[in-house]
């Protein structure tokens, strides 16, 4: 299975950082956990990451994933540091994947 990764940001200056952090998390933190899905030929999967920079200069984020019919969703608000927000969201994703 190939997993499509969709990244949506409302602030152009955060796009490059978001793409880098998503790639790092998927390749380093989640690769072994996602293997149980990617090994299935007929399975389908998407991971959508949405980051919004608020007027207060904080970040809100959502990670929404559909993997082989299973849905995962994580949302956090008001993070001052984009790295912390994305790493925190992917930590929760990893914890849930590890329990499967």
Please, which pLDDT band fits residue 62 given cuts at 50, 70 and 90?
very high
| pLDDT score, position 20 | 97
Please, which pLDDT band fits residue 40 given cuts at 50, 70 and 90?
confident
Determine contact, residues 52/12, Cβ cutoff 8 Å. Answer: no
Residues 75-92: tens digit of each pLDDT = 999 999 999 999 999 999
Please, which pLDDT band fits residue 43 given cuts at 50, 70 and 90?
confident
Residues 15-31: tens digit of each pLDDT = 999 999 999 999 999 99
Which one of 1.25.40.10, 3.40.50.970, 3.30.160.100, 3.60.15.10 gives the CATH number of domain 3-98?
3.30.160.100
Return the exposure string of 14-28: e unless at least 16 CB atoms fall within 10 Å of the residue's CB, then b: beeebeebbeebbee
């Amino acid at each position: 299975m190939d997993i499509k990764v969709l990244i949506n940001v409302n602030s152009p200056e955060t796009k490059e950082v978001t793409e880098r952090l998503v790639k790092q998390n998927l390749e380093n933190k989640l690769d072994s956990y996602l293997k149980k899905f990617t090994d299935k030929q007929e399975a389908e999967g998407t991971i959508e990451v949405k980051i919004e920079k608020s007027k207060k200069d904080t970040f809100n984020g959502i990670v929404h994933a559909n993997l082989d019919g299973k849905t995962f969703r994580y949302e956090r608000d008001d993070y001052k540091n984009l790295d912390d927000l994305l790493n925190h969201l992917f930590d929760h994703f990893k914890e849930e994947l590890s329990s499967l």
